[in-house]
Structure 1
Amino acid sequence: MNKTEIAYETGDATTPRITGPAIIAHICNDLGRWGKGFVLAVSARWPQPERAYRDWHKQRDTNDFALGAVQFVPVAADLYVANMIGQHGLRSSTGSPPIRYDAVDQNLRTLADFASTSKASVHMPRIGCGLAGGSWDRIEPLIDSCLSSRGIAVVVYDLQ
């Protein structure tokens, strides 16, 4: 399996310029809250990811909704949105950001398995670095280790 390099593009991660199966990945919180950041762009394009996330949270006593879990929501032919629970709460009262790197690592390993099985590329904003308060210097190596090292094409989008 050949390692791939993370590609960086300017643009909107909700409109990947690709052919073939694709997954749009993003970080969600563990409180069932959806309403700020990248999720607004997701909801502007498709209603399914928000509805699925809210149902997943509402039924959390009977499913796997927790830090580290991933929900794959089909939104079009060969296109999924990966709701990844990698943020504990919304903001920290202790001064540390709500991102949980161990959960993101687990999210990305699950994402890699799904992408590999689906033969899909992965598209994302700089996950975990907005409202979750994470550092790209810590997230990028996780992406490299979990996805790129397995030969999975990853495109990271920066809005201009």
Structure 2
Amino acid sequence: MKIVQGDLLRLAADGRFDVIVHGCNCQCQMGKGIALTIKRRFPEAYRADLTTEKGVRDKLGSYSQARVSENGHEFVIVNAYTQFHWRGEGVRADYEAIAKAMRSIAREFHGRRIGYPLIGAGLARGDWNTIAAIIDEALAGEDHTLVEFDG
């Protein structure tokens, strides 16, 4: 895993990534964090989320996606369903769902430049060391980068 400081969306819009992945809940909300920023800036990604069934646990580990363009650069936004709900106490990140989604992303987007934030470690309260190991294993051999927000 490469690690850079910056704004994931700006880097993608500048042509740094072909695919960006962020964690979503299964409630079709995209109401906080980077998901809300994506929803507002790239409504196509939110529309893709809305094509999935709200509140279904079977979505965990799957994803929806939207192809977007900004600054003359096209890239794919992947809404990875890595937590069931945003409500409640404790860890809401689902490590198994993160692993399943990332393995599928590695297959579908093999050879592409993939960027992501601290998936599951912010609002979902997951342990980043655990999640980083999951991502590294799932995306082994791929060009993937953690973007730590510096804004």
TM > 0.5 fold call: yes
Q: Which of the residues 132, 136, 139 maps onto 1:144?
A: 136
Which residue pairs with 1:154 in the alignment? 144
- Aligned residue in 2 for 1:135: 127
> Could you tell me which amino acid in structure 2 is paired with residue 128 of structure 1?
G
User: Alignment partner for residue 70 of structure 1, among 37, 58, 63?
Assistant: 63
2:52 maps to 1:56:
yes
Cα deviation for residue 15 of structure 1 reads 2.1
Structure 2 partner of 1:11: 6
For the pair 1:42 / 2:60, whether they are aligned, the reply is: no
CA–CA distance in 2 between the matches of 1:159 and 1:144?
19
Q: Which residue of 2 aligns with 1:82?
A: 78
Work out the percentage of aligned pairs sharing the same amino acid.
Answer: 26
State the aligned residue count.
Answer: 146
Give the distance between the partners of 1:142 and 1:108, measured in 2 at CA: 8
Unaligned ranges ≥5, structure 1: 1-5
Task: Give the Cα–Cα distance (whole angstroms) in 1 for the partners of residues 74 and 85 of structure 2.
Answer: 31
* Structure label with greater radius of gyration: 1
Residue segments in structure 2 that go unaligned for 5+ positions in a row: none
Q: Is the 8 A contact 2:113 2:144 kept in 1?
A: yes
TM-score by length of 1: 0.81
Cα distance in 1 for partners of 2:26, 2:83 equals: 6
Deviation at 1:111, TM superposition (A): 0.7
Bigger RCO (CA 8 Å, 6+ sep): 1
Q: After alignment, is 30-39 or 20-29 more displaced?
A: 20-29
Moved more, 74-83 or 135-144: 74-83
- Which has more strand, going by share of residues? 2
Which position in structure 1 is the counterpart of 2:91?
97
Root-mean-square deviation (CA, aligned residues, Å) is: 2.2
**1:109 partnered with 2:103:** yes
